[in-house]
Amino acid sequence: MTSSGSAPSIFSRIVAREIPATIVAETELIIAFEDIAPQAPVHIVVTTKTEVYRNVVELAAGDPALLAELVRVANVIAEERTGGEFRLVFNTGPSAGQTVFHVHAHVLGGQLKEGTLG
């Protein structure tokens, strides 16, 4: 359970190693792993270990330093995997495609699958 009493998000369960994922980077505060349903040749999810913040707007307001750390880690991964040309996407809200309400960014490199990003 989280502090709010809800069940841990799927990403918190990855952080806790309760479910498997291909982890590509980890720091004290951030974890990054391969998306289970990649929408591009490079598709990495970068998320905070805490699930206090549901989306990037909440994170920016509540802990801007943590947002900066998330973007820093995303950029390291993107440099390694895409050579520095990539999309960094924060879906925000269900109608924008957000399905996991634990703030995260998508690092997307290469040609997107048809239909991705609307």
Give me the residues that bind ligand 5GP (CB under 6 A), please: 10, 19, 21, 33-37, 45, 91, 97-100
Strand partners, 48: 30
Q: Can you list the alpha helix ranges (DSSP code H) found in 2-99?
A: 10-15, 56-62, 64-82
Shortest separation between residue 95's beta carbon and ligand 5GP, angstroms: 12
| Catalytic residue chosen out of the listed positions 43, 102, 104, 106 | 104
- Tokens, residue 11: 């990403």
- Which residue lies nearer to ligand 5GP by CB, 45 or 66? 45
Q: For the chain, what is the radius of gyration of the CA atoms?
A: 14
Is 104 assigned a catalytic role? yes
Under 8 Å between Cβ of 86 and 109:
yes
Shortest separation between residue 50's beta carbon and ligand 5GP, angstroms: 16
Shortest separation between residue 32's beta carbon and ligand 5GP, angstroms: 10
Under 8 Å between Cβ of 88 and 73:
no
Compute CA 74 distance to the chain's CA centroid, rounded to the nearest angstrom.
9
- Which residue lies nearer to ligand 5GP by CB, 83 or 94? 94
- Which residue lies nearer to ligand 5GP by CB, 33 or 53? 33
Catalytic annotation, residues: 104
